[in-house]
Amino acid sequence: SQQGEEDPQALSIQEGENATMNCSYKTSINNLQWYRQNSGRGLVHLILIRSNEREKHSGRLRVTLDTSKKSSSLLITASRAADTASYFCATALRGSGGGADGLTFGKGTHLIIQP
Amino acid sequence: GAGVSQSPSNKVTEKGKDVELRCDPISGHTALYWYRQSLGQGLEFLIYFQGNSAPDKSGLPSDRFSAERTGGSVSTLTIQRTQQEDSAVYLCASSPYLTPEQFFGPGTRLTVL
């Protein structure tokens, strides 16, 4: 079963607006990652947040993590047409590990940025 | 440097035939992963290699699926007696030792007729 579940499933906003996507997971984690996928092919790693962190920033990306609610959010500020993609949260299959491990992904949020 | 490469990019085969999918990880990455992505099932983990050994094969959906990795580098995913439900994009990823972030290849789109 999917460990992470994102919502919304689809999101369409105007260029320049902020986009927020949420993810929930079921088991304990060491870290949570967000990936982007363009055109249904390879995924690109965006950001990793560790279980002892509550918020992390990278450029226009802001990720939060609430381990008590088993949820995370990804905020993209000042969106651009190039941000149009699917976004997935991912957690390690073995949850508690901090190193290399297979990942379990949510179903993703398809984000469309309208010019 | 070069990223993860996969070949072929597209493969069309007939039901019952065997297929081999290849993955070349980023040089020096010790961990290698196979996933598949389909409309109905989303992204599913298949198998994970650390060096040449596979500590986790839990995601392989049936005994028709197998994978090997040689020389700590190239990996081949083999699907025997393909079925229509095997149609999906097969993604390979690699990561440095003990690093959770994964670098993905462009995938192989497999269509079983």
Which CATH number characterizes residue A107's domain?
2.60.40.10
In a domain, B56, yes or no: yes
Best B32, B36, B41, B101 residue to mutate vs chain A (most A CBs within 10 Å): B101
Of B56, B89, B95, the CB nearest to A41: B89
| Residue B59 contacts A where some CB pair is shorter than 8 Å | yes
What 3-state class would DSSP assign to B76?
strand
Q: What is the mean pLDDT of each run of 10 residues along chain A (115 residues)?
A: 69 96 91 90 92 96 96 97 95 71 90 94
Q: What is the CATH number of the domain that holds B49?
A: 2.60.40.10
Q: In chain B, which residue's Cα lies nearest the Cα of A50?
A: B100
Q: What confidence score (pLDDT) does residue A50 get?
A: 94
pLDDT in tens, B57-85: 889 999 999 999 988 899 999 999 999 99
In a domain, B103, yes or no: no
In a domain, B80, yes or no: yes
Q: What confidence score (pLDDT) does residue A27 get?
A: 86
Q: Which domain holds residue B84?
A: 5-96
In a domain, B112, yes or no: no
Mean pLDDT over residues B96-107, rounded? 93
Tokens of B104: 């993905």
Q: Which domain holds residue A23?
A: 5-114
Q: Which residues, in sequence order, are bridge partners of residue B13?
A: B112
Q: Interface of chain A against chain B, CB under 8 Å?
A: 2, 30-31, 33, 35, 40-45, 48, 88, 92-93, 98-108
In a domain, B40, yes or no: yes
In a domain, B108, yes or no: no
In the 3-class helix/strand/coil scheme, how is chain A assigned residue by residue? CCCCEEECCEEEEECCCCEEEEEECCCCCCEEEEEEECCCCCEEEEEEEECCCCEEEECCEEEEEECCCCEEEEEECCCCHHHCEEEEEEEECCCCCCCCCCEEECCCEEEEEEC
Q: What confidence score (pLDDT) does residue A2 get?
A: 38
Distance, CA of A89 to CA of A106 (rounded, Å)? 6
What 3-state class would DSSP assign to A49?
strand
Q: Specify the number of domains making up chain B.
A: 1
Name every chain A residue with its beta carbon within 8 A of the beta carbon of B106: 41-42
Q: Specify the number of domains making up chain A.
A: 1
pLDDT in tens, B15-65: 999 999 999 999 999 999 999 999 877 899 999 999 888 877 889 999 999
Name every chain B residue with its beta carbon within 8 A of the beta carbon of A44: 104
